[in-house]
Amino acid sequence: MNKKWRIKEHNLDRAEKIAKKFNLSELVSKILSQKNLKDEEIKKYLNPTRQDFYDPFLMPDMDKAIDRIIKAVNDKEKIIVYGDYDADGITSTTILKRFFKDRGVELSTYIPNRLDEGYGLNKEAVEKIAKQGFTLMITVDCGITSIEEVKYAKELGLDVIITDHHETLDDLPKAIAVVDCKRKDNKYPFNSLAGCGVAFKLIQAYCQKLGLNENESLKYLDIVCIGTISDIVPLVDENRVIAKLGLMLVKQTKNLGLKEILNLSGYRKIDSTAISFGVSPRINACGRMGHQEVALELFLSDDPIEVRKLARELEDYNRQRQEIEKRIYEEAILEAEKESKDKPCIVLGKKDWNHGVIGIVSSKITDKYYKPSLLICFEGDEAKGSGRSISGFDLHKAIVDCSKYLKNFGGHSMAIGLSLETKNFDKFKSEFEQYAKENIKEQPIPEIEIDEEIDSKDINIDFIKDLKLLEPFGEANNVPIVIYKNLKIVSIRSLTDGKHLKLTLKDDNTIIDAIGFNLGYLAEEYQIGDKIDVVGSLEINNFNNFETVQITLKDLRKSIS
């Protein structure tokens, strides 16, 4: 699919002032000028400290939550943490379990099985928990839409504290406390924390209330960092503080499970990329394959032998996940080509699709066609699905509008999970397609925003190292994208069975390597000697302790001149 290239306009006066005040390079200053940050905010952005965390008691109901937890601890009540099966939920659960264990308080944990129970609270689990004698349940990364389940828990004598970060409905569950900064009455300065970020604020508030040293909460920032980066929340404001400080702890983590995953991932450099592509998929694979307890046990174990065993299980589940994902993706492509080519969205349903994996496939389908997509698997009378969206189309709003045939749903503007009766699939599909038709008038064209045009003088290691001041990269703090024009192709070939593209490019006497992941199909469209313009990010490739500059391509096209 053709993409639109757009070079950002910079506030050059502001960029010049930033460069002088903070002693930064021209490109770094230009990028910072785009973020509309005040000088104090730039200082926090470049060098966040523990003083940059907001007061956790500004969060809605935080005082109520802490008072109820303290009472439960003092009265030796049975407390359980109800989490989620993804990396955010697993890390959230880990944080509370380990923190209170360090305080001499043994909390129990419950992670629902993705394949059997689905996302969030369910009445069967609530009943089981109540029968086991628990009197306080703390949810992490879920619960904000569980109105009936919380009501049922209350009837069974089980108090509930909700900590969540997802979008709220018009009504809130009648829990003891509902700690979610997406609430309409929220006054907390930042409302985009991940679920583990909210869990971290809970233990931070607990430390403050009891006069504990702040390090008692801060020492879990390695785990909070993993969940935050994994959940693809915007890495700005307090999330950036978590990610930047947390990555420092990840590099020296004492968590044996995290250490083992990092070793297995094969990443030499511990940064946001290593977390996103090395750690997160392995944690998420457990939940996707219905073995969520393995990932949790790995993070909670202090036994080196058990940790190695659990880590090998993670690897096996990740391999299985990759194989299933590949099959579903190929089948979904065939279906999309057959019935969704001329539609503004893609809604597909099929038997034998693993609903733990279809969210990843939906993301890939949306990337390929640049259309909102919903993939739904039929499991007898029930159907479960996941969806991903494109810029400008609020998927959560769309699902709310088309919820007549749905049993459950949850998520946000860019990603959604849902369930419905299989017999209602065609009706729901028709309603959603009509909504998309009314709200997407023309097929959107994906746009690549370019930070700067570069030339041969910029192809040096120091230039790229300057850009690393902007790390960690992630959602809303993307890797800087550059454009380099009129490069001559010296060599071109595809790699990994035609999946990826490898290029050697030349500009006068400057030789530049380039790699294009998932761009292998372009090898047939270009040949040696062609002049091209490329768009991508600059990386340092370290081979045999020799550093060279490499461009990781996002797109390319033949030069006009």
Residue 426 lies in a domain: yes
Determine, yes or no, domain membership for 335: no
End residue of a domain, out of 409, 439, 469: 439
Residues 250 and 116 in one domain: yes
Give yes or no for a contact between 309 and 297, defined as CB atoms under 8 angstroms apart: no
Same domain, 419 and 551: no
180: left (phi over 0), alpha (psi -120 to 50) or beta: beta
Average confidence (pLDDT) over 425-454 = 94
Do 73 and 39 share a domain, yes or no? Answer: no
- One domain, residues 308 and 355: no
User: Could you give the percent of the chain with pLDDT greater than 70?
Assistant: 100
pLDDT of 23 > 80? The answer is yes
- What's the mean pLDDT in 52-71? 98
Say yes or no: 383 and 525 in one domain: no
Question: 179 lies in a domain?
Answer: yes
- Whether residues 247 and 384 fall in one domain: no
Cα-flanking dihedrals φ and ψ of residue 72, to 5°?
A: -65, -40
Mean pLDDT of the 340-353 span:
92
412 and 300 fall within a common domain: no
The CATH number covering residue 416 comes to: 3.10.310.30
Could you tell me the two tokens for 455? 């030339």
Residues 329-353 have a mean pLDDT of 93
Q: Looking at residues 281-286, what average pLDDT do you find?
A: 96
Domain shared by 400 and 536, yes or no: no
Domain presence at residue 139: yes
Residues 430 and 403 in one domain: yes
Q: What band does 216 get if pLDDT is binned at 50, 70 and 90?
A: very high
CA distance 213 to 82: 27
Buried b (16+ CB within 10 A) or exposed e, 213-252: eeebbbebbbbbbbbbbbbbbbbbbbbbbbbbbbbebbee
Residue 143 has pLDDT above 90, yes or no: yes
H, E, C per residue of 298-322: HHHCCCHHHHHHHHHHHHHHHHHHH
pLDDT of residue 119: 81
In this structure, the answer to whether residues 422 and 455 fall within a common structural domain is no
What DSSP assignment string belongs to 350-419?
EET--TTTHHHHHHHHHHHH-S-EEEEEEETTEEEEEEE--TT--HHHHHHHTGGGEEEEEE-SSEEEEE
Flag whether 528 is in a domain: yes
In percent, the amount of the chain with pLDDT more than 90 equals 85
What's the angle, vertex CA 480, arms to CA 464 and CA 482, rounded to 5?
A: 85
Spell out a b/e string for 468-494, using b for 16 or more CB atoms within 10 Å of the CB, else e: eebbbbbbebebbbbbbbebebeebeb
**How far apart are the C-alpha atoms of 87 and 230, rounded to whole Å?**
6
Q: What is the CATH classification number for the domain harbouring 210?
A: 3.90.1640.30
Q: What is the pLDDT of residues 480-502, one digit of tens each?
A: 999 999 999 999 999 988 999 99
Given this model, what pLDDT does residue 151 score?
98
Q: Please indicate, yes or no, if residue 333 is contained in any of the structural domains.
A: no
29 and 75 both lie in a single domain:
no
How many domains is the chain partitioned into structurally?
3
The closest of 5, 8, 6 to 31, measured between CA atoms, is 8
Tokens of 294: 């393995």
Q: Is pLDDT above 90 for 116?
A: no
Mean pLDDT of the chain, nearest integer: 94
Residue 312, pLDDT above cutoff 90:
yes
What are the pLDDT digits (tens) for 421-435? 999 999 999 999 999
Supply the pLDDT for residue 390: 95
| Whole-number Å distance between alpha carbons of 238 and 219 | 16
The encoded tokens of residue 523 equal: 């090898």
The residue from 418, 439, 460 where one domain ends is 439
Report if residue 90 sits inside a domain.
Answer: yes
Record the tokens describing residue 447, joined without a space: 């746009």
Of 413, 439, 465, which one is at a domain's C-terminal end?
439
Which band of pLDDT confidence, cut at 50, 70 and 90, is reported for residue 462? confident
Q: What is the pLDDT of residue 561?
A: 66
Summarize pLDDT for 173-202 with one digit per residue, the tens.
999 999 999 999 999 999 999 999 999 999
Cα 446 versus chain centre, distance: 20
Residue count (the chain)? 561
Q: Residue 510's domain is classified under what CATH number?
A: 2.40.50.460
Which has the minimum average pLDDT: 195-209, 297-311, 507-521? 507-521
Note the pTM of the prediction, 2 decimals.
Answer: 0.90
CA separation for the pair 221, 215 (Å, rounded): 10
Of 501, 479, 500, the residue nearest 492 (C-alpha): 501
Q: Is residue 325 part of a domain?
A: no
How much is the pLDDT for 401? 95
- pLDDT confidence of 1, banded at 50, 70, 90? low
What pLDDT was estimated at residue 411? 76
Model confidence at 529, in pLDDT bands (50, 70, 90)?
very high
What pLDDT, on a 0 to 100 scale, did the predictor assign at position 176? 98
Return the HEC string of 70-87.
HHHHHCCCCEEEECCCCH
Instruction: Give CA angle at 269 (268, 270), nearest 5°.
Output: 115
Supply the range of the domain harboring residue 394: 340-439
Taking alpha carbons only, the member of 542, 547, 549, 498 closest to residue 524 is: 498
What's the distance, CA 170 to chain centroid? 26
* 265 shares a domain with 178: yes
> 359-396, pLDDT tens digit by residue?
999 999 999 999 999 999 999 999 999 999 998 999 99
